[in-house]
């Protein structure tokens, strides 16, 4: 993508951070897709907790599943920040589709781009950019925040590894065909025995288990994975055996910015809905947005959204610039998840009784926001990361 001079976009009354002309055009194209193709499907997908497969193919056709992937591998060759814009715009309409694209780009593709060897990139990146959904399999029943307590084991069998164990809370689990999966190949070495593997759905001994019935992001599949002596070729080790802990930590640092983008998208959708409704709802002979109490709430919501957006954008720009962004990513995820939950909750209250029923959009924004404080590192884990970094910098 060419480098254009930055310009400030004004849209829906909200000033956004400086975007290049290319970034503005990209944002507009994703927004058009979200409004035209995604919005009509949101209610049905949420009600039935099922991702429309037609949307999956459209995401591939629009190039949304390989945004950072180099052009030589069939991707767009764009920046990490561009992927963040896509996740935000999609999540403004439906956070389930936002995280579908987010996991593909910020976790799966990024892991292969950064840690894959030449042959792995040549084999998997074109597939991930054009037709095959990816998923990231780290969590287990006994290893959530303590991810390195994993019990999934990989046994060296000469020309392949035999992996056995169970993974939980795997986003895109139903749709995915390629998994970046973690197992311990040397338990005696603790976390230094962990390895990352590229596992295909078709491998012997691999199966997808239960799909979770969730509060929010219901159209996004969250499943368990079952590995029973799953045979994985040695050439599918991502990085080196013993480097898995590093692959997971560094990939999740980037992924947290993606979740921040999902959260500001949710917050934007909720605030825009609240602004529209309070301008239409009449009480005591005038729109309720003419009452100072309502105006103050809207102002607080807009301020929190803008702060969250700037934190997310800043972390993404730092990542693209090759700067150390770990603290900023943790702060962005922490603050944006809190902002999304607060803004969507206030939107429900501004709708009154209508906000509590599914005929109106704001209750879904609130349900979708709750996951932001949980996955890809809980809020407490973000606070721990931030504290260590600010204390260590003294």
Each residue of 62-89: pLDDT tens digit? 999 999 999 999 999 999 999 999 999 9
Q: How confident is the model at residue 394 (pLDDT cuts 50, 70, 90)?
A: low
Residue 123 CB contacts under 8 Å (≥ 6 apart), including other chains: none
Q: What is the pLDDT of residue 392?
A: 84
Q: Count the Cβ atoms, other than its own, within 10 Å of residue 235.
A: 12
| pTM, full prediction | 0.94
d(C-alpha 87, C-alpha 106), whole Å: 10
Each residue of 209-267: pLDDT tens digit? 999 999 999 999 999 999 999 999 999 999 999 999 999 999 999 999 999 999 999 99
Q: How confident is the model at residue 15 (pLDDT cuts 50, 70, 90)?
A: very low
Range of the domain at 323: 246-392
Helix (H, G, I), strand (E, B) or coil at 168: strand
The domain boundary, picked from 106, 133, 160, lies at 133
Each residue of 96-109: pLDDT tens digit? 999 999 999 999 99
Single out the residue of 185, 119, 178 nearest to residue 157, CA to CA. Answer: 185
Same domain, 260 and 380: yes
Catalytic residue flag (residue 376)? yes
Q: Is residue 153 part of a domain?
A: yes
Same domain, 211 and 228: yes
Work out whether strand 134-137 and strand 178-184 pair parallel, antiparallel, or are unpaired.
parallel
Same domain, 172 and 235: yes
Q: Is residue 1 part of a domain?
A: no
Single out the residue of 160, 171, 297 nearest to residue 230, CA to CA. Answer: 160
Res 144 pLDDT > 90 = no
Q: What is the pLDDT of residue 52?
A: 97
């Amino acid at each position: 993508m060419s480098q254009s001079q930055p310009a400030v976009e004004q849209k829906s009354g909200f000033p956004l951070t400086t975007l290049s002309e290319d970034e503005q055009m990209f944002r507009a194209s994703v927004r058009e897709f979200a409004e035209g193709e995604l919005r009509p499907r949101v209610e049905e997908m949420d009600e039935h907790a099922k991702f429309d497969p037609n949307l999956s193919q459209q995401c591939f056709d629009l190039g949304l599943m390989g945004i950072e992937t180099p052009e030589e591998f069939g991707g767009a060759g764009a920046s990490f920040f561009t992927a963040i814009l896509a996740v935000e715009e999609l999540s403004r309409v439906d956070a389930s589709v936002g995280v579908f694209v987010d996991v593909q780009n910020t976790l799966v593709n990024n892991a292969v781009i950064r840690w894959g060897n030449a042959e792995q990139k040549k084999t998997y990146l074109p597939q991930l950019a054009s037709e095959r959904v990816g998923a990231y399999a780290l969590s287990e029943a006994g290893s959530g925040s303590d991810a390195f307590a994993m019990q999934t084991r990989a046994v060296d069998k000469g020309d392949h590894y035999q992996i056995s164990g169970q993974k939980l809370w795997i986003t895109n689990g139903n749709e995915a065909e390629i998994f970046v999966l973690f197992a311990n190949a040397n338990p005696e070495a603790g976390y230094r025995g962990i390895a990352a593997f590229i596992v295909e759905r078709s491998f012997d001994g691999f199966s997808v288990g239960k799909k979770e019935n969730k509060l929010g992001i219901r159209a996004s599949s969250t499943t368990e994975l079952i590995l029973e002596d799953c045979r994985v070729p040695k050439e599918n080790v991502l990085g080196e055996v013993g480097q898995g802990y590093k692959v997971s930590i560094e990939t999740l640092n980037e992924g947290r910015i993606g979740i921040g983008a999902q959260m500001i998208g949710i917050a934007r959708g909720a605030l825009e809905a609240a602004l529209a409704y309070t301008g239409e709802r009449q009480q005591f002979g005038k729109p309720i947005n003419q009452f100072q109490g309502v105006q103050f709430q809207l102002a607080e919501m807009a301020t929190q959204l803008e702060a969250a957006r700037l934190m997310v954008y800043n972390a993404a720009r730092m990542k693209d610039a090759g700067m150390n962004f770990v603290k900023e990513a943790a702060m962005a995820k922490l603050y944006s998840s809190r902002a999304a939950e607060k803004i969507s909750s206030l939107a429900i209250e501004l709708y009154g009784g209508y906000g509590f029923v599914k005929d109106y959009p704001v209750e879904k924004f609130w349900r979708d926001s709750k996951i932001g404080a949980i996955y890809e590192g809980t809020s407490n884990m973000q606070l721990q990361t931030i504290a260590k970094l600010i204390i260590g910098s003294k």
